[in-house]
Amino acid sequence: MDQNNPVNKLLNLLCFTPAGLIALAVLFVLPLIPPFNQEYLLRWLISAAFIAALAVAFDFTAGFISIVNFGYAAIMGLGGYTSAILAERLGLNPWLGMLAGGLLAAFLGFVIGAITLRLRGIFAACLAWFFGLALMGLATKMVWLTRGPLGMRVDRLFESSSNLPYYYLCLAMMVIIYIICKWCTRTKMGLAFKAIGQNMEAARTSGINPIFYRLVNFTLSCALAGWLGGFYAHYYAILTPDIMHTSKTVEVLAVAYIGGRGSLWGGAAIAFPFIFAMELVRSSLTNLPGLNLLLYGLLLILVMIYYPGGFAEFFDKTFRKTKNRIMGYVLNGAHGGAK
């Protein structure tokens, strides 16, 4: 790829490959093409874009510093409740409320990270999960503030009854989150993240402060989750503590790992067909609740056995093989013509 080409420079700045840009263009026009312009399929597309954005932000932590934040859905829910409460109780503009939700989620992520990230592996993951359970418990019991299981009604961002503006907003948020995370991984800080994720002791002996870099990574990931939580609140227009349930985190984790841990783009790419498949299962097999969680587990097992790098590894290998074959045909054809 010619790096002096203006198009390639722009793609490099935006952290996109030509294939990624084509995929994004397809996602942009998809809701304008029947049958995807139907409202129920638009809702599926929004769910897919939302999970894709969460998977990118989740993978930023799980894929680079090897910390699985099992309280991720609770952090996202905190952002949603913050934006909703500020909008409904204090009359704050919802757009500002979404940013406020991200900031509060970042602050709580910093506090949780300062406590948990001194631990390693499963201990840090479990402690983050316990914090998530505590947040869900507070959202359930503080009925005077959150209305608990009754659900809190929230104003929507757009007056239109169409889901189309929400789809393009969520798609834009997904792209912004991807670019932010990708930019971070390209810096010296990103090298520190990778070093810590591969071998924390070796990184420490190289002069890297693991706690500092893990804390920065964890805080940013939580901020992005809180921002998305604000979108969730003002899109669905009702909030219940179920948004903070661990099963929501498992759904994001499954998408991130099936997409390819540490790739960032893999989870975003796989989220759309994956969520559509799960929605079809839910709508077709309503008498089997929880079947989607079983399918998550089976898919994760298959991925870990055959493609530990997920869809990103599969795509890279397939693309490389195809490219080599094409080059081989071209070279053989050139040699044949020379003869």
- pLDDT tens, residue by residue, 296-313: 788 888 888 888 889 898
What is the pLDDT averaged over residues 202-215? Answer: 91
Q: Phi, psi at residue 239, to the nearest 5°?
A: -125, 130
Residues 29, 311: Cα–Cα separation, whole Å:
23
Angle formed by the axes of helices 246-260 and 265-284, nearest 10°: 130
Neighbours of 286 (CB within 10 A): 9
Residues 249, 228: Cα–Cα separation, whole Å:
14
- pLDDT tens, residue by residue, 100-122: 999 999 999 999 999 888 777 67
The confidence score (pLDDT) of residue 330 equals 65
What is the H or E stretch that residue 152 is in?
strand 152-153
Q: Phi, psi at residue 214, to the nearest 5°?
A: -65, -40
Q: Which residues pair with 152 in a beta bridge?
A: 239
**Strands (DSSP E) along 4-139, which ranges?**
none
Residue 54: partners with Cβ closer than 8 Å, 6 or more residues away: 72, 76, 225, 228, 252, 255
Instruction: Say if residues 100 and 81 touch (Cβ distance below 8 Å).
Output: no
Residues 76, 72: Cα–Cα separation, whole Å:
6
Q: Phi, psi at residue 153, to the nearest 5°?
A: -80, 140
Q: What is the pTM of this model?
A: 0.92
